[in-house]
Amino acid sequence: MSKSFYVLPRSVGVRRKLEPSRKPLNLLVRKLQADVSVRLKNDAEYRGKMIDCDSHMNIILDGAREYRGGDPSTNFGSLIVRGSNVLYICVSEPTP
């Protein structure tokens, strides 16, 4: 599986409005039901299917597993990740 990273441009001293298709929440909503990897600020990583997200970027994962140092450590099943703890989200794209 290949992975996609979404990097949004930053304005330097200029406030501009992003296109609707480039807003982070719109990207997440379009990727619902996709396999994702969520890295938290405490270096924990969770992988699973993203079932839902809200305006605070709280994420519900199904089939969630926690990884520490690249090794699986805990199987959670369903998990809610608080958006304020998220460092980044990586979406796995299916390979053709």
Q: Tell me, yes or no, whether 74 lies in a domain.
A: yes
Q: What is the mean pLDDT of residues 66-90?
A: 91
Q: Tell me, yes or no, whether 86 lies in a domain.
A: yes
Q: How many domains does the chain have?
A: 1
Cα(64)–Cα(10) distance, integer angstroms:
32
Q: Domain with 87 in it: what CATH number?
A: 2.30.30.100
Q: Tell me, yes or no, whether 36 lies in a domain.
A: yes
Q: Tell me, yes or no, whether 51 lies in a domain.
A: yes
| Domain enclosing residue 67, as ranges | 2-8+24-93
Strand partners, 3: 92
Q: Tell me, yes or no, whether 14 lies in a domain.
A: no
Q: Which long-range contacts (CB under 8 A, 24 or more apart) does 54-60 make?
A: 54/83, 55/25, 56/83, 56/84, 57/24, 57/25, 57/28, 57/83, 57/84, 57/86, 58/82, 58/83, 59/28, 59/83, 59/86, 59/89
In this prediction the pTM is 0.71
Asked whether residue 88 carries a pLDDT value surpassing 50, the answer given is yes
Which residue has tokens 């290949």? 2
Q: Tell me, yes or no, whether 13 lies in a domain.
A: no
Q: Tell me, yes or no, whether 15 lies in a domain.
A: no
pLDDT digits (tens, 9 = 90+) for 41-73: 998 999 999 999 988 889 999 999 999 888 888
Q: Tell me, yes or no, whether 69 lies in a domain.
A: yes
